[in-house]
Structure formats: C-alpha cells, structure tokens
Structure 1
C-alpha cells in the first residue's frame, strides 16, 4: 500500500506506526501487528496502532524511532519476530536455549517487541523463573549489547545491593571510602525500580548523574570514582527496557535480577564486585536459606563472566538509616560522611562493613573506618560531587524535605515489635518518591525500641498536599511499625 509518511510525537520510544482505520482495514492490519515500510531503498519495521483521528486516510504516522522515514512509502504486513515464540515457550515453563535468549535480548534492544510482548516476557520470568544456565546466557547476551567501559586499572571495584530495604543508601559512602583508598570505582547505578529511591535518584539531589562515556572517564581519572546513572550511557540498555516493563508490576524476579546487576557490572568494566543480599521479613529475600542460594548463584554467574563476585548476606528486617526517599537519604549520607554525632548509626556501620569487605576483596590493606573518621572519605565525596557538576560545599542541613508533612504516632505503650520495609517503601512512593525528590519518610523507631503512647513512629513528607493526603490514606490501612506489649513483642521477635 502506497502511503505518505509523517512524523508524529505521542511521547513513546517505541517504533509505532499509526494507520487510519480505513487504511488498516484495507491492509488487514490489527493492533500490535507489524508492518514493513520501504523507503528510499531501506526497510524498517513498526508496530501498528489504529486510529480514526491522529492520521488521515492515505497517511501513515511514525513515532520518534522512525522519524527519518518521510514522504512516499510502501507499507506491507510483516511477520511476528521469532522471539515472540520464545516468550511463549517461557510462559509454558520451557527452558530457553542460549540462541533463543540472545534473540529475545536483540529484539528488545531493537524495539521489535510491543509493550504487551515485553510484559509477557517479564511475566514468564516471574512466574516460571530462570535456570542457572539460562541466567548465565541471558547475562552474557545483555552485557554484549550497548556500550562498554574499559579501564587501565587491573582492579576495578564495584558494589550492588539487590534492594528492598528502606533507606539502604550505603553506595555513595562506599564509593567515597574506596576511591579515597586509591581504588578505581566507577559506580553506575540505576534509578528506583520498586523502591522509593535508587542510588542515581539520591545522587541527583546533589549533582548531575547523566554523562557520556568520555565524561565518565574524565571524572574517574580525576577522582578515582563516580556515581552516575547507568542508563544515561547505554550500558546494558536492554536492562532499562526490562525495568520499564517490571515497574508497573513491582516485580524483580531473581534470575532477571542477577542478569540485570551483573550485565551492568560487566559493561562497566568491573573486575571485583560485592553484592549486598539483605534478607528478612519484608525484604526481597525473606529467609537465610534463600539468601545463601541467591549468593551462590551470583558467584556462579560471576565466574561464568570472569568477574570476581562475593556476596554479603545482611539482616534486612529493619530499615538502614532514617530517611526514605531521594533527598532524605542524601541527607543521611552527608551526615555519615560529615561525622555528625546524630547520623544514623545503622547506615554508618553497614557502609563500613561493606567497604571493609570490598577493600579486602580487592586486596587493599586499608581501614575503612580510618578513612571515614579522618575526613578523607568526605573530601573525596566532595571531589566527586564537584566533578559531576554539583556544589561540593553542600551539607546535610542544607537538604530540606517536602514542606507538607504529618507524623504518625503510637496509640499504645510497648515495644516496636516489627518494622515492615515493604510497607515503608509503599508509603514513601505514595507520598511521591522518587519522582518528587523531597518526598518520603523519616523513621523514628526501629525494632525493639520501647515506645510510649504519643511517641512518633514515622513522619511522612510530600511536596504537595494532595500527595500527603494519599499517603495518609494508605497509612490508615497499613501498620509499617507495629507496637505490641513487651510480652507479645518478644514472642513475635523469636
């Protein structure tokens, strides 16, 4: 069918082809079918969207990935990508071959799968899981797509947490300590998936996080480290597409999680990686047995990729730090680095423990505590913030939370018997985090604290009154910090 192509912007990165219903009927094209467009001796493929209003008969609209296409074009129906068959196999719980996983990764990278098909892929992984062999080959395929960083240093340090713990922002502190110890640590981090703040969201409160590869190399050459958004430099870009599909479902299945983490690390040129695997009620991994299994699998996949991976299995029952949300977590980070006596001790201790482990793992004889207490870590962190375009003089007291707030208080006397990370994260997200950087929670109690009637449990901060009211309504239905009598609390903690 001969049509006239015109560019249309409907706010999508998908290669959509908008056909008027009349033309679509004549072509026999249904929603989400593929069409092949021949133009100027070239051929491109797009996903069909039918419309009565956005384009006139005789015209085909093309979205941003296809904007080079214009003028007279020939439009024909195209077949479904082979990877869709492989997605169906995974939905049927059939183990995929390496070439099948590679084809899925390539088609995701080339935007050949519709949002529905991408959603089916992550649903199949969530429902039926990935074998260890599938995870190895998927990680390898994902890391082979996109750009790669390489470094002259023989040892390149890295760290990742699988997430799920409120306020667990140890990464900026670790990078400052490890870089101050002389190691190269180019940290590429993600934005939030199911949490109220990823490391990139936290750092964006203080400085820029989107840089080109050349700019990252310059920052690392100057400071030994960086804290940037990995999606901004096309490192394992398929991971970002998969995360986009996982977000609405708030899922992060183990096999895909490992492929996501380690494909990014391999693309970033990391040689020695520490993975933080928190476990406990309300965490992503709830049992010690499951945490050990996941840690073993991380190590096996790392060996397959020739990366030296070790895991720290940490308690994930309680939040780390007091703030939950980008600005509130950034405030905690600065307080620890500044040596503030009121800085959250849980965040300081976990940052030191993981830093010591990473230094030892990389064969460096240095004391993380000494580097932190001497002010060298703070100095290096300020260097990194300055190199990334931020204010190196920013202090914890400079960061104000959202002006709209309410404090939830205890309605009984007893002990805080349980703190639910998942519910705290849900509340912070309902308040607007991470998109509203100053939204989130401040946690006033941890498990086993003695609590009196009227004592503050947590404070919700939002940037708008409407978001605060939404979070309050959710808080009425949840109990993220449970207060029970001392006798009942001791029974629950056993």
Structure 2
C-alpha cells in the first residue's frame, strides 16, 4: 500500500505509526501489529495505532523516532519479532539461551518491541528471576550495544550502590577523593528508578550531567573524574529502556539489577569496581544471607566479563545523611566535602570507608580521610563541577529546599526502634522528588535515639502546597520512624 508520510508530534520513544482505520483494515493491521515502511532511506518497522481522526485515509502518521521518513512510502504488514516468543518463554519460567537474550536486547535497542511487550519482559524477569547463566549472557549482550568508553590507564575505578537506603549519596564524595588520589574514575550514574534521587539527579543540582563521549573524555582528562548521566551517552542504552519500564512499578529484579550495573560499568571501560550492597529491614536486600548471595553473583558475573569486582556489604537499616531528594542530598554532599560542623557524620564515615576500599582495591596507598580532611577532595569536586559547566563557588548554605514544609513530630516519648527507608523514600517521592528537585525530606532521628513527646521526627519539603498535602496524607498512614517506650523497645531487641 502506498501512503503519504505525515509527521505526528506525540512524545514517545517507540516507533509508532498511526493508520486510518480504513487503511489499517485493508492491510489487516490491528493495534500493536507491526508494519514495514519502505522509504527513500531504507526500510523501517513501525508499531501500529489505529485512528479515525488524527490522520486521513491515504496517510501514515509517523511519530518522533520516525520523523526522518518523508514523502510517499510503501507500507506492508510485518511479522512479530522472534524475541516476543522468547519473552513468552520467560513468562513460562523457562531459562533462556544466550542467543535468545541477545535477540531480546537487540529488539529493545532497535525499538522493535511495543511498550506492552517490554513490560511483559520486565514482569517475566521480576516474577521468575534470572539464573546466573542468564545474568551473565544478558549483561554481555547489554554491554555490547551502544557506545563504549576506552581509557589509556589499565586501572579504571568505579563504584555503584544497589540503592534502597534513603539519602545514600556517597558517590560524589567518593569520586572527588579517588580522583584526587590520581585514579581515573569516569562515573556514569543513573537517574532515580525507585528512589527519590539518583546520583545523576543530585549532581544536576550542581552542574550539567548530559555530555557527548568526546566531552566526557575531555572532562576526565582534565580532572581524573566525572559524574555524568549514563543515559546521555548511549552506554548500555537498553538498560535505560528497561529502567523506563521498571520505573512505574518501582521494581528492580536481582538478575536485571546485576546486568544493569555491570553492563554500564563495562561500557564505561571500568576495570575495578566496588559494589555497595546495603541490607536490613526496609532496604532492598533485607538479610545478610541475601546480601552475601548477591555479592557472590556480582563477583561471578564480573569474572565472566573480566572485571575486578569487590563488594561492600553495609548496614541499610538507617538512612545515610539527613537529606532525601536532589537538593537536600546535594546539600549534605557539599557539607561533608566542606568539613562543616553540622555535616552528617554517617555520610562522611561511609564515604571514607568505601573510598578506602576502592583505593586499596585499585592498589593505591592513600588515605581517604586525609584527602577529605585536607580540603583536597573539595577542590577536586569544584574542578569537576567547573568542567561540567557548573558554578564552583556554590556552598552548602546556598542550597535551599522547597518553600512548602511540614514537620512530623513524635506522638509519644520513647526510643526510635526502626527507621523505614522504603517509607521515607515513598514520602519523598509523594512530595515531588526527584522531578521537583527541591522536594524531599530532612530526617531528624536515627535508630536508638531517645525521643521526647512532640520532638521532630522528620520534615517534609515540597515545591507546591498540593504535593505537600499529598505527602502529609501519606505520612498519616505510615510510620517511617517507629517510636516505642523503653520497655517495649527492650522487648523488640529481644
């Protein structure tokens, strides 16, 4: 069928084509079927949407990924990608072979899967999991797609936290320390998936985080390190598409998590990586046994990919730092680097410990505490901010949260017996984080604190009254900081 291509301005990353119902009927094309489009530049596959109003008969509407298509084109019905069969196979809990996983990765990268099919893949992995062999092959396939960074240094340092702990923004501090110690550390980070702020969201408070490959190389040549968004440079781009499908459900299945982290690290050219695995009640990993199993899997996949992986199993029962949300976490980061008296000690201690671990892992004899305390890490951080088009003169006191706020206070006197990271993150997201960069929480208590009646537990910040009220309504139903009498606290410990 010959149709006239017309540009349709609908925001989507999928290659959707709009067909008038008359034309779709003549082709035998149903919604979400695929059509082959033969045009001047070659052949493209599109996913069908039927309409009676948005396009006229004789016209095919092409969305943003297909805006390069113009003029009269040939449109014919196309078959379903083979990878859809493999997604169904995974839904049936059948282990996938390397070539089957590679086909899924390739079709995701080439935009051949509809959003429903991509969601089915995410659901299958979440429900049925991935074996170690599947995880190895998936990681290899994902890292083989997209751009690759390569460095002259034989040792390229990196670090990643699996998340799940509120305010755990160690990475900017660690990068500044390690880069100042002379190591190459091109840190690519994700935006938030299930948290109120990813490292890229926090760094965007200070400077730009989206750069082309050549710009990243220049920044690292100048400063030894960078803190950029991995999705902006096409490193393991399939990971970003999968994260897009995971985000609405707030899921992050284990095998996919490993593939996500290590495919990005491999694409970034990292050779020595420290993985932070927090565990505890309310964290992503709730038991020490599960944390050790995850660490072993990370190391096994690392060996398969010829990457040197070390894992830090850390306590995740308490938030790290006080702020939760982009601006509030950025303020904590800068306070630690500045050596401010009111800087959160938990964030400083964890940053130093992980930095020391990474330095030792890379064979560098240096003290992270000395580099931090001397102010050299702060100067290195300011150099990175400058190289990434930010303002190096910014100070922690300059960073203000949202103007709308409410403080939740203790309804009884006692002891804080639990701080629930998941609930705190839910509250910060309800307040608007990470899209509203000034939204989030400030946490005033940690486990073990003695708390008086009406003493502040946490403060919610939002950019609008509506979102503050939504967060307060949720806070009324939750108990993110549990306060019990001394007698009840003693029973809980037993």
Interval containing the TM-score (normalised by the shorter chain): over 0.9
Aligned to 2:24: 24
Instruction: Please report the TM-score for the alignment, with normalisation by the length of structure 2.
Output: 0.99
Distance in structure 1 (CA, Å) of the matches to 2:244 and 2:43: 27
Is 1:284 the counterpart of 2:249 in the alignment? Answer: no
Instruction: Give the structure 2 partner of residue 98 of structure 1.
Output: 98
Structure 2 partner of 1:295: 295
Partner of 1:339: 339
SS in 1 for 2:152: coil
Moved more, 38-47 or 167-176: 38-47
Q: 1:160 to 1:408 in 2, by over 3 A?
A: same
Taking the aligned partners of 2:411 and 2:104, their CA distance within structure 1 comes to: 53
Distance 2:252 2:174 in 1: 24
Aligned residue for 2:393, secondary structure, equals: coil
Q: In the aligned structure 2, how far is the partner of 1:135 from the partner of 1:62? A: 36
Q: Within 1, Cα distance between the matches of 2:104 and 2:492?
A: 46
Equivalents in 2 of 1:114, 1:403: separation in Å? 41
Q: Do 1:438 and 1:462's aligned partners in 2 also have CA atoms closer than 8 Å?
A: yes
Q: Could you tell me which residue of structure 2 aligns to residue 454 of structure 1?
A: 454
1:130 equivalenced with 2:130 (yes/no): yes
User: Following TM superposition, by how much is the alpha carbon of 1:261 offset from its aligned partner in structure 2, in angstroms?
Assistant: 0.1
1:177-196 maps to which residues of 2 (within 5 A)? 177-196=177-196
Change (3 A) 1:424 1:493: farther
Q: Distance in 2 between matches of 1:483 and 1:348?
A: 26
C-alpha contact 1:32 1:49 (8 A) present in aligned 2: yes
Question: Is structure 2 residue 71 aligned with structure 1 residue 71?
Answer: yes
- Residue 353 of structure 1: SS of its match in structure 2? helix
Per the normalisation by structure 1, the TM-score is 0.99
Output aligned runs, 1:269-418, within 5 Å.
269-418=269-418
Distance 1:14 1:357, change over 3 A: same
Residue pairs, 1:23-62, within 5 angstroms:
23-40=23-40, 42-62=42-62
The Cα of 1:404 is off from its aligned counterpart by 0.2
Distance in structure 1 (CA, Å) of the matches to 2:200 and 2:464? 23
Deviation at 1:446, TM superposition (A): 0.6
Q: C-alpha distance in 2, partners of 1:181/1:489? A: 44
Residue 109 in structure 1 maps to residue 109 in structure 2: yes
**Higher mean C-alpha deviation, range 398-407 or range 479-488:** 479-488
Q: Which residue of 1 aligns with 2:82?
A: 82
How does 1:256-267 map onto structure 2 within 5 Å?
256-267=256-267
Residue matched to 1:3: 3
Distance 1:54 1:475 in 2: 43
| CA distance in 2: counterparts of 1:228 and 1:31, whole angstroms | 38
Unaligned stretches of 5+ in structure 1?
A: none
Rounded to whole Å, the distance in 1 between the matches of 2:382 and 2:493 is 41
Pairwise CA RMSD of aligned residues? 0.7
**Aligned-partner SS, 1:238:** helix
Deviation of 1:493 (Å): 3.7
In structure 2, C-alpha distance between the alignment counterparts of 1:144 and 1:262, rounded to whole Å: 12
State the 1:492 CA deviation: 2.3
| 8 Å Cα contact 1:186/1:220 also seen in 2 | yes
Q: Which runs of 4+ in 1 moved over 2 A?
A: 490-494
The separation in 2 between residues aligned to 1:288 and 1:118, in whole angstroms, is 32
**How many Å separate the matches in 1 of 2:429 and 2:492?**
27
Alignment partners' CA distance in 1, 2:493 and 2:136: 38
Distance in 2, Cα, partners of 1:348 & 1:486: 30
Give CA-to-partner distance per residue, 1:161-208, whole Å, 9 cap, x none. Answer: 000000000000000000010111010000000000000000000000
Report the alpha carbon displacement of residue 9 of structure 1 after superposing the two structures with TM.
1.2
CA drift at 1:26: 1.8
Deviations 1:56-103 (CA, angstroms, capped at 9, x unpaired): 111110111111212111211110000000000000000000000000
* Distance (whole Å) between structure 1 residues aligned to residue 314 and residue 365 of structure 2: 23
Distance in 2, matches of 1:427 and 1:18, equals 39
Structure-2 separation of matches of 1:85 and 1:451: 57
8 Å CA contact 1:109–1:238 kept in 2: the answer is: yes
Pairs within 5 Å for 1:135-150: 135-150=135-150
Contact 1:3–1:72 (Cα < 8 Å) also in 2: yes
For residues 304 and 407 of structure 1, the distance between their equivalents in structure 2, rounded to whole angstroms, comes to 49
How far apart are the structure 1 equivalents of 2:23 and 2:237?
Answer: 35
What is the distance in 2 between the residues matched to 1:287 and 1:256?
Answer: 20
State how far apart, in whole Å, the 2-side matches of 1:296 and 1:337 are: 33
Per the TM alignment, residue 490 of structure 1 is displaced from its structure 2 partner at its CA by: 2.7
CA offset digits 1:387-434 (Å, max 9, x no partner): 101111111000000000000000100001110000000000000000
Shift of residue 25 of structure 1?
A: 1.6
Please tell me whether the aligned partners of residues 417 and 490 of structure 1 are also in contact (alpha carbons under 8 angstroms): no
Give the C-alpha shift of residue 39 in structure 1. 1.8
**What is the rounded CA distance, in whole Å, between the counterparts of 1:204 and 1:80 in structure 2?**
40
